[in-house]
Amino acid sequence: MKDYYEELWRRMPADATVPDLKARLDFLLSEVSPGERVLDLGCGDGRFTEALARAGSQPVGVEVAEAARGRASGRHPGLDFRLAPIEGPLPLEDNGFDLVWASEVIEHV
C-alpha cells in the first residue's frame, strides 16, 4: 500500500486542486484557537498545515508517502512535516495534540 501512495504523489500535478478547499479550511479554522497543537494526519502537500500555522496554531503534518512529505516540506519550509509508517505507532508523543484533522484520509483506510 505504501508503494501505491508513493506513486500517487509522484504522479499528482503540483497544482492539483482540493475539492471544496475554502469551505474545508473555513470549517477547520473555526475550530482551532491560536496556540493549539494540531495534528494534520494525511497532510498531503501541506495546504491545511500551512493554513493552521498562519492562524496561529502549532501544526504537525504527517504523511505515509515520502513524496508527499517532501512536497509539503518544499512548499512550506519551516513547518513540521513527518513521515509515518503505514502500520504501527505514529512518530509522535502521547497526548500531544488538542485537535486531529484527517481530511481526505478515511476513504483510503
Express each pLDDT in 29-73 by its tens digit: 999 999 999 999 999 899 999 999 999 999 999 999 999 999 999
Structural contact between residues 71 and 9, judged by C-beta atoms closer than 8 angstroms: yes
In-domain check, residue 69: yes
pTM value? 0.80
Backbone φ and ψ for 33, nearest 5 degrees, come out as: -105, 150
Per the structure, the count of domains in the chain is 1
- For 42, the domain range is 2-12+36-108
Structural contact between residues 55 and 29, judged by C-beta atoms closer than 8 angstroms: yes
In-domain check, residue 72: yes
In-domain check, residue 99: yes
CATH number of the domain within which 60 lies: 3.40.50.150
Mean pLDDT of 13-29: 75
In-domain check, residue 62: yes
